[in-house]
Amino acid sequence: MCGIVGYIGQKKAYPILIKGLKRLEYRGYDSAGVALISDNNELNVYKAKGKVSDLQAHCQDKDVSGSAGIAHTRWATHGEPSSTNAHPHYSASGRLALIHNGIIENYATLKEKLIERGIEFRSVTDSEVLVQLIDYVQQSNSLSLLEAVQVALRQVIGAYAIAILDRDHPDTIICARQSSPLVVGLGADGDFFLASDASPIAEYTDKVVYLNDGDIAVMQLGKELQVVNLDNVEQHPKVKQIDVTLGQLEKGGYPYFMLKEIFEQPKCLRDCTRGRINVDHDRITLSAVIDYRDRLISARRIIIVACGTSWHAGLIGKMLIESLCRIPVEVEYASEFRYREPVIYPDDVVIAISQSGETADTLAAIEQARSAGAFVFGVCNAIGASIPRQTTTGVYIHVGPEIGVASTKAFTGQVTVLSMLALAIANEKRTIPGDVYKDMVAELTRIPDKMEQALKTNEQIERLAPIFTYAKNSLYLGRGYNYPVALEGALKLKEISYIHAEGYPAAEMKHGPIALIDSEMPVFVIATRDKLYEKVISNIQEVRARGGRVIALVTEGDEQIRKLADHVIELPDTMECFQPLIASIPLQLLAYHIAVCKGKDVDRPRNLAKSVTVE
Ligand code: M6R
In ligand 1, the atom with minimum distance to the C-alpha of 407 is: 16
- Residues in contact with 235: Cβ distance below 8 Å, sequence separation at least 6, in sequence order: 212, 215, 227, 228, 229
Name the residue of 355, 387, 402, 414 whose CB sits within 8 Å of the most ligand 1 atoms, as the mutation to test its pocket. Answer: 355
For 45-100, the pLDDT digits (tens) are 999 998 899 999 999 999 999 999 999 998 877 778 888 889 999 999 999 999 99
183 three-class SS: strand
> 244: pLDDT confidence band, cut at 50, 70 and 90?
confident
> 459: pLDDT confidence band, cut at 50, 70 and 90?
very high
Question: Measuring from each residue's beta carbon to the nearest atom of ligand 1, which residues come in under 6 Å?
Answer: 307-310, 354-356, 359, 362, 405-407, 491, 495, 611-612
Beta pairing partners, 305 = 332, 352
Q: From the CB of residue 472, how many other CB atoms can be counted at a distance below 10 Å?
A: 9
Cα gap 263→83, rounded to integer Å: 38
Query: SS3 sequence, 147-175?
Result: HHHHHHHHCCCEEEEEEEEECCCCCEEEE
Cα gap 364→476, rounded to integer Å: 31
Q: Whose CA is nearest to atom 9 of ligand 1?
A: 308
Query: SS3 sequence, 328-391?
Result: CEEEEEHHHHCCCCCCCCCCEEEEEEECCCCCHHHHHHHHHHHHCCCEEEEEECCCCCHHHHHC
- Residues in contact with 81: Cβ distance below 8 Å, sequence separation at least 6, in sequence order: 30, 31, 49, 74
> 234: pLDDT confidence band, cut at 50, 70 and 90?
very high
Q: Whose CA is nearest to atom 7 of ligand 1?
A: 308
239-243, 437-441, 586-590: which has the minimum mean pLDDT?
A: 239-243
How many whole angstroms from 396 Cα to the centroid of ligand 1?
Answer: 16
What pLDDT score does 562 carry? 94
Given the residues 2, 268, 307, 577, the one annotated as active site: 2
Q: Using alpha carbons, select from 216, 74, 225, 87 the residue that is nearest to residue 152.
A: 216
How many whole angstroms from 587 Cα to the centroid of ligand 1?
Answer: 17
Most confident of the following: 155-159, 216-220, 344-348: 216-220
How many whole angstroms from 127 Cα to the centroid of ligand 1?
Answer: 25
In ligand 1, the atom with minimum distance to the C-alpha of 308 is: 12
Name the residue of 311, 312, 359 whose CB sits within 8 Å of the most ligand 1 atoms, as the mutation to test its pocket. Answer: 359
- Mean pLDDT, rounded, of the chain: 93
In ligand 1, the atom with minimum distance to the C-alpha of 356 is: 1
- Mean pLDDT confidence for 364-379: 94
Concerning whether 2 is annotated as a catalytic residue, the answer is yes
Cα gap 421→576, rounded to integer Å: 17
Q: What predicted TM-score, i.e. pTM, was given to this entire model?
A: 0.81
> 604: pLDDT confidence band, cut at 50, 70 and 90?
confident
Cα gap 282→290, rounded to integer Å: 17
For 419-428, the pLDDT digits (tens) are 999 999 999 9
> 265: pLDDT confidence band, cut at 50, 70 and 90?
very high
Cα gap 474→401, rounded to integer Å: 30
- Asked if residue 507 has pLDDT above 90, the reply is no
Beta pairing partners, 48 = 32
How many whole angstroms from 359 Cα to the centroid of ligand 1?
Answer: 8
Q: Where are the domains of the chain?
A: 3-248, 251-455, 458-597
- The phi and psi torsions of 402 (rounded to 5 degrees) equal -105, 115
Q: Whose CA is nearest to atom 14 of ligand 1?
A: 406
The region, left, alpha or beta by phi > 0 then psi within -120 to 50, assigned to residue 387 is alpha
How many whole angstroms from 219 Cα to the centroid of ligand 1?
Answer: 33
- Asked if residue 28 has pLDDT above 80, the reply is no
With pLDDT > 90 as the criterion, what percentage of the chain qualifies? 75
What's the gap between Cα 165 and its chain centre? Answer: 29
In ligand 1, the atom with minimum distance to the C-alpha of 610 is: 14
- Residues in contact with 109: Cβ distance below 8 Å, sequence separation at least 6, in sequence order: none
How many whole angstroms from 350 Cα to the centroid of ligand 1?
Answer: 19
What pLDDT score does 27 carry? 73
Q: Using alpha carbons, select from 389, 435, 441 the residue that is nearest to residue 416.
A: 441
Is the separation of the CB atoms in 374 and 405 below 8 Å? no
How many whole angstroms from 308 Cα to the centroid of ligand 1?
Answer: 5
What pLDDT score does 143 carry? 93
Concerning whether 49 is annotated as a catalytic residue, the answer is no
In ligand 1, the atom with minimum distance to the C-alpha of 309 is: 10
How many whole angstroms from 355 Cα to the centroid of ligand 1?
Answer: 7
Name the residue of 1, 196, 261, 310 whose CB sits within 8 Å of the most ligand 1 atoms, as the mutation to test its pocket. Answer: 310
Q: Which residue has the higher pLDDT, 382 or 610?
A: 382
Beta pairing partners, 218 = 174, 226
- Asked if residue 247 has pLDDT above 80, the reply is no
The β-bridge relationship of strands 549-555 and 567-571 is: parallel
In ligand 1, the atom with minimum distance to the C-alpha of 406 is: 16
What's the gap between Cα 44 and its chain centre? Answer: 33
Number of alpha carbons in the 13 Å side-chain half-sphere of residue 471: 32
Name the residue of 309, 363, 387 whose CB sits within 8 Å of the most ligand 1 atoms, as the mutation to test its pocket. Answer: 309
- Mean pLDDT confidence for 574-580: 97
- Mean pLDDT confidence for 547-551: 91
In ligand 1, the atom with minimum distance to the C-alpha of 306 is: 4
**Counting every residue, how long is the chain?**
615
- Asked if residue 599 has pLDDT above 90, the reply is yes
Q: Whose CA is nearest to atom 12 of ligand 1?
A: 308
- Asked if residue 148 has pLDDT above 90, the reply is yes
CATH fold of 251-455 reads Rossmann fold (3.40.50)
- Exposure pattern of 85-114 as b/e (b: 16+ CB <10 Å)? bbbbbbbbeebbbbbbbbbbeebeebbeeb
Q: What is the CATH number of domain 458-597?
A: 3.40.50.10490
Q: Rounded to the nearest 10 degrees, what angle do helices 409-429 and 579-597 cross at?
A: 170
How many whole angstroms from 362 Cα to the centroid of ligand 1?
Answer: 11
In ligand 1, the atom with minimum distance to the C-alpha of 414 is: 3
Q: Which amino acid is at 21?
A: L
- Mean pLDDT confidence for 427-439: 95
**Choices 3.30.1490.100, 3.40.50.300, 3.40.50.2300, 3.60.20.10: CATH for 3-248:** 3.60.20.10
- Asked if residue 1 has pLDDT above 80, the reply is no
- Asked if residue 243 has pLDDT above 80, the reply is no
Q: Whose CA is nearest to atom 8 of ligand 1?
A: 308
How many whole angstroms from 309 Cα to the centroid of ligand 1?
Answer: 5
Cα gap 539→551, rounded to integer Å: 13
Given the residues 22, 111, 450, 610, the one annotated as active site: 610
Is the separation of the CB atoms in 525 and 553 below 8 Å? yes
- Asked if residue 2 has pLDDT above 90, the reply is no
- Asked if residue 590 has pLDDT above 80, the reply is yes
- The phi and psi torsions of 486 (rounded to 5 degrees) equal -65, -45
How many whole angstroms from 611 Cα to the centroid of ligand 1?
Answer: 7
For 268-321, the pLDDT digits (tens) are 999 999 989 987 778 899 999 999 999 999 999 999 999 999 999 999 999 999
- Mean pLDDT confidence for 469-477: 92
The sign of the CA dihedral 144, 150, 155, 157 is positive
What pLDDT score does 227 carry? 97
In ligand 1, the atom with minimum distance to the C-alpha of 611 is: 1
- Asked if residue 495 has pLDDT above 90, the reply is yes
Intrachain domains 251-455 and 458-597 with the same fold: yes
Name the residue of 262, 612, 613 whose CB sits within 8 Å of the most ligand 1 atoms, as the mutation to test its pocket. Answer: 612
